[in-house]
Amino acid sequence: MLGTTLSAGDYLSRVCQEIGRLDVGSVVNVSDVIERAYDAGKFVFIIGNGGSGANASHLCEDLAKCTLRDFENQKRLKVLSLTDNTAGIMAWANDEGYDRIFVEQLKNLASPGDVLLAISGSGNSPNILKAVEWAEAEGLETVGFTGFSGGKLQKLARHNLHVGIDDMGIVESLHQVVFHWLIDDLNRRFAAKAVSRKGPNAS
């Protein structure tokens, strides 16, 4: 935890430095992946543990609501965070093991062409890896959000957004920074599609 040794100013400077190191092309690619799912009417599923689980819930809420400008008429993105099915998670974890809490939900819900956004700072969470491995085998498009060395997830997922720093707090913070840009970018993209369907002079 870098904050235990860095002053507030130095810590924030380090965060800014890490933001500057992000691969912008990888960030934009995630937006492209989600847009393709939107166009095809496919589901976007999101998974994560701990702070990454909280980020998954937050991202899901934003993708569902904040990509909209017209709440009554605009086409909506199909999106679901699998971190929020508390009873289902506890049942699978208690009876079969914590590593199955996401993959078993996907088996109920997912179809080929859907998207799985998998968030793991270490890139080595067994329940994340099991879900991504199944998703790849079943024809889903997978995106990993990783930190530290990237772990196994960086190689297993079809797409990856990597934050290369050994500090979980900064990793989770930068993931959230990226997520907020994605929401704004997809809001713009989806709104443009709504206008093109109605025509430029539609009221």
What percentage of the chain reaches a pLDDT higher than 90? 93
Q: Is a pLDDT exceeding 90 seen at residue 8?
A: yes
Higher pLDDT, 198 or 93: 93
Q: Is a pLDDT exceeding 90 seen at residue 3?
A: no
| Cα–Cα distance for residue pair 174/70, rounded to 1 Å | 29
Average pLDDT for 144-151: 97
Average pLDDT for 85-96: 98
- The arrangement of strands across the sheet holding 159-162 comes to 78-81, 43-48, 115-120, 141-146, 159-162
**What pLDDT score was predicted for residue 194?**
86
Model's pTM, two decimal places? 0.94
- Indicate the average pLDDT of the chain: 95
| Cα–Cα distance for residue pair 91/97, rounded to 1 Å | 9
Domains and CATH numbers, the chain: 24-193 (3.40.50.10490)
Tens-digit pLDDT profile for residues 159-178: 999 999 999 999 999 999 99
**What pLDDT score was predicted for residue 196?**
64
| Largest Cα span, the chain | 58
Own/partner long-range contacts of 71-77 (Cβ < 8 Å, ≥24 apart): 73/194, 74/190, 74/191, 74/194, 75/38, 75/190, 75/193, 75/194, 77/34, 77/37, 77/38, 77/44, 77/186, 77/190
Average pLDDT for 50-67: 98
**What pLDDT score was predicted for residue 4?**
87
**What pLDDT score was predicted for residue 203?**
47
Tens-digit pLDDT profile for residues 112-126: 999 999 999 999 999
Q: Is a pLDDT exceeding 90 seen at residue 2?
A: no
